[in-house]
Amino acid sequence: MESKDNSFILTIAIPTYNRPDKIKKQVLSLIPQLTDETRLVIIDNSSDVEVASLFNDIDLPINVVVVRNKCNIGADANIAKCFELCETKWLWTLSDDDILDNNAVKQVLCDIKKHQDFIFINYNRNRKVITSGLQEFALEGCKMYTYLFWLSVCVYNTKALRSYYYFYYQALSTMHPGVAMLTKYLADNDGNTMLSDTKIVIDGGKEISWKRENFVYSALIMCDVLRDYSKVLNPTFFRALTDMCFNSIYNIIPQKQRLLLMIKLFFLVVKRRGIINIIRYNFQRTFLFFPILLKKKLLHQLY
């Protein structure tokens, strides 16, 4: 449903849970950037301290809304609610701890007005590229794949994508369902995206709220989700997903039980990706495993 107030064209949605200091700081720093064309929606995932109560002594603008879930529905589902609660044409998802440039909102508004028919705008990349169709999107997007699902640098055209929300929800367990939704849309329709080198985030949050092994399992599910598009996406997204899996495995803490987990996950990725594809597309990252494993084993023995 479109917003009843036609002056709003952009919703900035911040999902948050149990980080009162961070969300309060983020909201207060963002308010001066808001205009009469923007709405700010904070989605409280049933935090121990109600987010709304953090602003009892602050007169929030009328275009700032706090929504509280009745229970904790998990981080991925809470991010999905950003889409569900968006009533404007454009949605910008934002984390509660990434630090924005002072002109970030102004920049996003400028871009969505200039590119009204684009379906997706992605910021903070190495260079600016406009893509048309799935193949170009995949070829360029895979070069900095993680940015395609970095919450704070993604802006979606919900008017175009709304009928594809179901695919977002189907892919929720992949940890990057937005990429799955965009892939599905571009496989069915012509569409343009902009991968922009404009830095709207000047400092990304340092905390990792997910386990590395869970990320590997999720990325492998993503491979299954994208299997129908393998002719177009191989080696682009599949190579990126495989490299991300190996990066996560290589950064697991060197403890005895974790070393065994590393080995298990490594062979799981190799099996799922296939030996031929691994050798052809991910050779270097794959065979780094053995010296890294040896190093971690030695470190474990020392400590």
**Do 70 and 179 lie in a common domain?**
yes
User: What amino acid occupies position 275?
Assistant: I
**121 bridge partner residues:** 155, 194
Length of the chain: 303
Task: For residue 302, count other CB atoms closer than 10 A to its CB.
Answer: 7
Do 88 and 113 share a domain, yes or no?
Answer: yes
| In a shared domain, residues 262 and 142 | no
Tell me, yes or no, whether 58 and 188 share the same domain: yes
Cβ-contact 258, 218 below 8 angstroms: no
Any idea which residue has 């909102």 for tokens?
Answer: 105
* Beta-bridge partners for 131: 193
pLDDT value at 2 more than 60: no
d(CA 173, CA 50): 27
Residue among 153, 141, 130 at smallest CA distance from 202: 153
Find where tokens 């990792």 sit.
208
User: Is 153 found in the same domain as 128?
Assistant: yes
Do 196 and 216 share a domain, yes or no? Answer: no
**Range of 98's domain?**
10-203
Do 15 and 88 fall within a single domain?
Answer: yes
Same domain, 116 and 216: no
Query: How many domains does the chain contain in total?
Result: 2
Confidence of residue 3 (pLDDT cuts 50, 70, 90): very low
Higher pLDDT, 297 or 129: 129
Tell me, yes or no, if the pTM score tops 0.75: yes
pLDDT in tens, 205-222: 666 777 889 999 999 999
User: Residue 31 pLDDT > 50, yes or no?
Assistant: yes
168: which residues sit within 8 A by CB, 6+ positions away? 80, 83, 177, 178, 180, 181
What is the rounded average pLDDT of the residues 236-264?
A: 86
54 located within any domain: yes
pLDDT digits (tens, 9 = 90+) for 151-170: 999 999 999 999 999 999 99
The stretches of 96-157 forming alpha helices (DSSP H) are: 104-114, 133-141
